[in-house]
A and B are shown apart, each in its own frame.
Chain A
């Protein structure tokens, strides 16, 4: 089954974030709590962790992209 990873809301002030580094590449196995990627907003760099266990299937955004809360950022294949 494929699970979608959407951009969580991190800032009470802003819904648009600068997308930073990926910590997992497509094909990598992912555990719940593993860091998937970083975003920056309001002078804060935040690491975002996985809520799923499985394999990262696809990255839907790249470093430097602007992402909005709720945007699809990745898909994870779960058993």
Chain B
């Protein structure tokens, strides 16, 4: 087995790394990763963000939203928890979680945490879920991804994953709600970092894994995959085809500004800002800040102001941009 240390807290990078290992690097041995992220909600591959997330809470908590390539439901994670990844070369497409779960369960037991597996392939302690798993299977590889709660903020978890059941659409994979708990109750003197170090050491000792350090060339390719496949709002929110609304105007001092967007249930589901203006802004970051917000001036203008404060557009203020978004399309 190969162990690759992951120091990035950027979930887009870390999913880009997994994808890179499966599709470009293609090691012929299994690979083990253990990593953590800034506060993040992860959607399953075929879930609808607008069904699964309390987007007001996601915005208020400034959480990162990402879509996994694996199946299953939505999870919340932060630096109080961690993710494990096992990428195994295989041509056997039959679904099987057991080998990965046995490895992690044995390592947890080794460090004094009495976790067991349940029928949904979750890890539980005294009946409460501490870890969920999902997989992504290609013709050559099986990726087993799992999340572990050690000292995660369960109040944030509850707030962001609480949605109105009436909103749930028929077409899409639904999450299964379960009682969750933190593993720290089992080892109260450990920090989350200490937990990760001990778990990693236990896995490495059990597998006799050797370490591979990512090179600058690896990182360059990972960055491209992360941006294209995981950080792009169209991938996260599954925007397809044309935008519903396109407003553009020449603004003296700023240049031609065009904003295209789509709405669902009076919320922004996609947004693209373009034009010949001068700015260092990243359109994907800008879009992610606004997607999910209620389509009212009161909700949008502060979000636009926040983005423009971080990455200004020469000659454009938030009120003018808000006017453009809400302008009557007939008024040119």
Interface, chain A (partner B; CB < 8 A)? 8, 10-13, 18, 20, 33, 35, 38, 40-49, 63-64
Contacts and interface: CB of A to CB of B under 8 A. Distances in A.
Interface residues of B, number: 24
Interface of B: 44-46, 69-73, 93-95, 120-121, 132-139, 171-173
Contacts of A20: 45-46
Top 5 A-B pairs, shortest CB-CB distance: A43-B72, A64-B171, A44-B135, A40-B71, A46-B137
B139 A47 contact: yes
Contacts, number: 67
B71 A12 contact: no
Given A35-B139, A64-B172, A46 B93 contact: yes
A79 B244 CA distance: 43
Contact of A43 (B93, B133, B139, B171): B133
Contacts of A13: 95
A44 B138 contact: no
A48 B173 CA distance: 19
23 contacts: A10-B93, A10-B94, A11-B94, A13-B95, A18-B46, A33-B139, A35-B139, A38-B45, A41-B95, A42-B71, A43-B70, A43-B72, A43-B73, A43-B132, A44-B71, A44-B72, A44-B135, A45-B134, A46-B95, A46-B137, A47-B137, A49-B139, A63-B46
Contacts of B173: 18, 40
Contacts of B132: 43
Contacts of B94: 10-12
A42 B45 contact: no
B244 to A, nearest CB: 20
Contacts of B69: 45
Contacts of B120: 43
Contacts of B93: 8, 10, 46, 48
A44 B70 contact: yes
Contacts of A42: 71, 95, 121
Contacts of B136: 44-45
A45 B46 contact: yes
B144 to A, nearest CB: 9
Contacts of A45: 45-46, 69-71, 134-137
A12 B97 CA distance: 12
